[in-house]
Structure 1
């Protein structure tokens, strides 16, 4: 069962492996046996022993891949043996996530016959990526794609990995995330794998571990079992839950009142982990004997695992048929007694042909957070989030660095009811050779600060309304006011695609994006100063009719009742010293075209001359006569004179060229 491979932590099987073969001198045969069983740590140790043995060194010494001379049958056999051992050794290291060892040996395999080992470049690239050698990894993925033209899962993975190494570099140079990730210390992370931490209210932290005190006697020969533990008051102790012989159990989820628990039990059967989900009820200080959930959840012949209870619904991961491929996320209803119904797939918005695992649902924010290998990420399992409920989900978004890393990141759980990233736990092998550790996510309180000024005089604006908007969801997160110095501040729990909007009565609304940068010791984001301008009295490049402009009959002489309108226009132009306008006059259809054009020109000039007398510079004024052009109403209706329409057409307009 994927990712629980980390929980098994193959390196812990070394003692048992050596015990099985302490008298065996045929290291290769022993290594092959462990490889077939899925015990990759022990396989790697015995392949190494073989290559360092006299027999192995003799085989290596006769291995001459570039020799053109006639080879003997013995040399051909030695070449096959040497190459197969080196490739199996590289595979063993990769499969228990020791990418340093894997890189070393895959580096040798890429010189082998590419037809014999067609996936060597792909896995070499994966190892390089896990070891943070992104440019070299990109080259290996490109080389693999150039040779592997078949559209299959390996080509799909290489394409995704190629996108991934570019995504990694983008993430490492991305703005600050607003959260920190820190590995938890002893006694939580102590000996073996430690993962899938959940907060049990009024109790402590429940997590799964393969630490040495989980030693059990059983028939499988595996001495280290996954078991549930409780961390409280700086001490770790086993959860008082009945254990089954030769069976791992862990990855728990609890009801809101802490009285019911769902968890996973799994066994290795025919080199494959088979998992089922169980339920237990609290009984005093202990838990009742676990009861396996119905076939609606646990389908015969398939695995169901990693339950998460959210109200009346149980989310889980399963490789049952009817999904998008491999492990998918599913849900089922839960009644008051804890009984479950039929499983429903979460759909193709969430699930991919690859693995989706470890679902977590934050009810307050309607966020589904899960791990997947099926989307572009930083490597291995990445954590993604999607907003929605059961049948309707938004496109999943990568949680990014530092929550995700170039290795596996899985088992998200938040102990915050408001913001899932305020206080959370994840499991990751980013700091480990073989196994998952529990990491704590904490919010970085980011102070957002900026200033609002008046564009005309650079004076601060006191009392402007400031809104912080999440542009991804077009949602206002906070509102506030500027102080006497024009300054505003917000306290953020996390970075995001935000903008700040500034508003003040009588002024144009303006906004600025919030640009996050990687912060070192500073925790304040300074927003570029927002400069507000007064609302423009007229739109730019659109004709505006000046009402109450009157002329003497059949003349261009302004009548006195026109002066207040032009006085107001002059005042506006003085307020906007760069403002330039075109003043245009229109006539009705009475008279000839030439006469009307001349009359309108003279009337427009009369307005311009008045404004000049009011102190407006001539260079800012343009007069234009339109004659009877461009009526706004019909001068005649059905061939009859329309006095009302002609009255509307006799008008004076301004058009703002610029402010």
Structure 2
């Protein structure tokens, strides 16, 4: 009887386990469909249910991605931490975890995760690694040394949802908002695309990515209430913020329309065919009312996005962002110039400032200074705002505007209305909703400095210094790099540095500690012999205590892997 009872119980447990697995898989499939359609609100609920039934890496990764896309960085950090620690996790989860930590201003922890990912990814360039680490160090420095600028949340303009892209037209402040839907859902308001279910048109009231309404233009005149801008756009979906010509009679903005010839394709995870609908640029003129929008000459709604239009005061240049083919990264910045007949010339890629990341929200002030946002350069996290001068049509070297113009989250749509005041948008901590509109007022400019010599007058890249096995003499390749540092120290007499030397794991631990100190001393001596005050340099030997990869004691590694750990790294500790 006990055997029979045991068999019945075993059978019941097996069936229950099987049923749970099947149910979890069904919920996961439904979640994947919503994820594919960018319906992140629905996907989050389904992935959480699936994870509760069965804790899978896939569900954890997707939850993290959903929260990251909705800019809920606290939850994104939690789920990327979970995913990166699970068995068979892809190393890229470590990178995403680092980025989430950075967005939450946890810079020291972010550096550890960036270093961990760098050791996991052998194809990663030293340049990219340096950008990540310098970003964390620079953010800490900027927050300790804020610039002379006053930032205020424009509470009379903002809502519990997303409000961004403020500009002026006469006495009206005009911006974009998705405020009409009750509820507060973290989201990405300035994404360049939508994806819809081909079986039916999208919900005309709710945007699945965020759970909020679609974007519309709003305006406020003085102390009047915020009102929707009356314009016959011909779309029930997104309408972006405008950029006006000087006379206020023409505006450029973005629309999201479903083309009549939209191509619907089968996408894995979706029950029905879907079509990707890209944001495009339109213009409208104002007589007695705003005219029906005219599409920009270079729109290709089925192929790529065009967004963030900005027309210069003279109306001769139109800057915008796009992911069109031939770019350098995700979203690149382009400019078109007016040609004979009033038409727009071909788009020109702004190669001087575009990166492998995303560049957004271009703008030019009355003095000819160029502003934009990027997540591909040294910054505090997410999109940071940068400035550059324009001389003879050429854009100079971009400079990060520092803190508090920038924050660990997304900062964009920087727009000077007067010489020293204007608006910017940000989803920084402490806002009323998702993206908020902030006003800024500049006071006495303050020099922005990086915790890296890259912005100290010249672009000088400092590489790590490597040594031969069991040696501490300065190799010719190392001498070249040390000479660069000598030049920086001569040109910037207030800089103090620490040279930290590291060994690989081969040999006795105590011996390696002495060897690393000898190597650090050797590098310092080289620099002092070239005329640098010894009080400005400190030598520090770390031995094998800070390995960059898996090659610890007893682990079999290649010569190249051991070589990576034999290095001297420079840290600027005072400027």
TM more than 0.5: yes
Q: Distance in 2 between matches of 1:438 and 1:133?
A: 25
**Offset from partner CA, 1:492-516 (integer Å, 9 cap, x none):** xxxxxxxxxxxxxxxxxxxxx9xxx
Does the Cα contact within 8 Å between 1:122 and 1:158 map onto a contact in 2?
no
The answer on 1:193 being equivalent to 2:162 is: yes
Does the Cα contact within 8 Å between 1:278 and 1:292 map onto a contact in 2?
yes
Query: Which structure 2 residues correspond to residues 458-497 of structure 1 after superposition, within 5 A?
Result: none
**Offset from partner CA, 1:94-115 (integer Å, 9 cap, x none):** 121111111222222222235x
Q: 1:299 to 1:446 in 2, by over 3 A?
A: closer
Does the Cα contact within 8 Å between 2:278 and 2:301 map onto a contact in 1?
no
Q: Helix, strand or coil for the counterpart of 1:241?
A: coil
Q: Helix, strand or coil for the counterpart of 2:292?
A: coil
**Offset from partner CA, 1:44-95 (integer Å, 9 cap, x none):** 222223334xxx1xx35xxxxxxxxxxxxxxxxxxxxx22212221221112
Does the Cα contact within 8 Å between 2:160 and 2:433 map onto a contact in 1?
no
CA shift for structure 1 position 332: 1.3
Equivalent position of 1:101 in the other structure:
75
Query: Which structure 2 residues correspond to residues 267-416 of structure 1 after superposition, within 5 A?
Result: 272-284=276-288, 286-295=289-298, 301-310=303-312, 311=314, 312-334=316-338, 339-346=343-350, 348-363=351-366, 365-389=367-391, 391-416=393-418
CA shift for structure 1 position 359: 0.5
Q: Distance in 1 between matches of 2:341 and 2:383?
A: 34
Answer with 1 or 2: which has the greater Rg. Answer: 1
Q: 1:434 to 1:136 in 2, by over 3 A?
A: farther
Does the Cα contact within 8 Å between 2:64 and 2:79 map onto a contact in 1?
yes
Q: 1:91 to 1:231 in 2, by over 3 A?
A: same
Q: Distance in 2 between matches of 1:273 and 1:398?
A: 33
Does the Cα contact within 8 Å between 1:214 and 1:226 map onto a contact in 2?
no
Q: 1:191 to 1:334 in 2, by over 3 A?
A: farther
Equivalent position of 2:105 in the other structure:
132
CA shift for structure 1 position 31: 1.9
**Offset from partner CA, 1:253-272 (integer Å, 9 cap, x none):** 00101011111112588575
Q: How many residue pairs end up in the alignment?
A: 387
Q: Distance in 2 between matches of 1:198 and 1:51?
A: 44
Equivalent position of 1:569 in the other structure:
none
CA shift for structure 1 position 240: 1.2
Q: 1:338 to 1:266 in 2, by over 3 A?
A: farther
**Offset from partner CA, 1:436-481 (integer Å, 9 cap, x none):** 111111234699xxxxxxxxxxxxxxxxxxxxxxx989xxxxxxxx
More strand by share: 1
Query: Which structure 2 residues correspond to residues 165-176 of structure 1 after superposition, within 5 A?
Result: 165-174=136-145, 176=146
CA shift for structure 1 position 33: 1.7
CA shift for structure 1 position 229: 0.8
Q: 1:157 to 1:226 in 2, by over 3 A?
A: farther
Does the Cα contact within 8 Å between 1:385 and 1:397 map onto a contact in 2?
yes
Q: Helix, strand or coil for the counterpart of 2:388?
A: strand
Does the Cα contact within 8 Å between 1:328 and 1:351 map onto a contact in 2?
yes
Q: 1:201 to 1:214 in 2, by over 3 A?
A: farther
Q: Distance in 2 between matches of 1:446 and 1:398?
A: 13
Q: Helix, strand or coil for the counterpart of 1:169?
A: helix
Q: 1:156 to 1:385 in 2, by over 3 A?
A: same
CA shift for structure 1 position 221: 2.1
Q: Helix, strand or coil for the counterpart of 2:256?
A: strand
CA shift for structure 1 position 166: 1.0
Does the Cα contact within 8 Å between 1:368 and 1:388 map onto a contact in 2?
yes
Equivalent position of 2:203 in the other structure:
221
> Which residue of the other structure, out of 222, 239, 243, is the alignment partner of 1:249?
239
Q: Helix, strand or coil for the counterpart of 1:352?
A: coil
Q: Distance in 1 between matches of 2:252 and 2:127?
A: 35
Does the Cα contact within 8 Å between 1:317 and 1:358 map onto a contact in 2?
yes
Q: Helix, strand or coil for the counterpart of 2:111?
A: helix
Q: Distance in 2 between matches of 1:352 and 1:201?
A: 35
Q: Distance in 2 between matches of 1:151 and 1:404?
A: 27
Q: Distance in 2 between matches of 1:271 and 1:382?
A: 31
TM-score by length of 1: 0.54
Equivalent position of 1:236 in the other structure:
226
Q: Distance in 2 between matches of 1:125 and 1:117?
A: 14
Q: Helix, strand or coil for the counterpart of 2:173?
A: strand
Q: Distance in 2 between matches of 1:141 and 1:434?
A: 30
Q: Helix, strand or coil for the counterpart of 2:85?
A: coil
Does the Cα contact within 8 Å between 2:147 and 2:445 map onto a contact in 1?
no
TM-score by length of 2: 0.62
The answer on 1:43 being equivalent to 2:43 is: yes
Q: Distance in 2 between matches of 1:148 and 1:253?
A: 42
CA shift for structure 1 position 210: 0.6
Equivalent position of 1:70 in the other structure:
none
Q: What are the ranges of 5 or more consecutive residues in structure 1 without an aligned counterpart?
A: 1-23, 61-81, 448-470, 474-512, 514-659
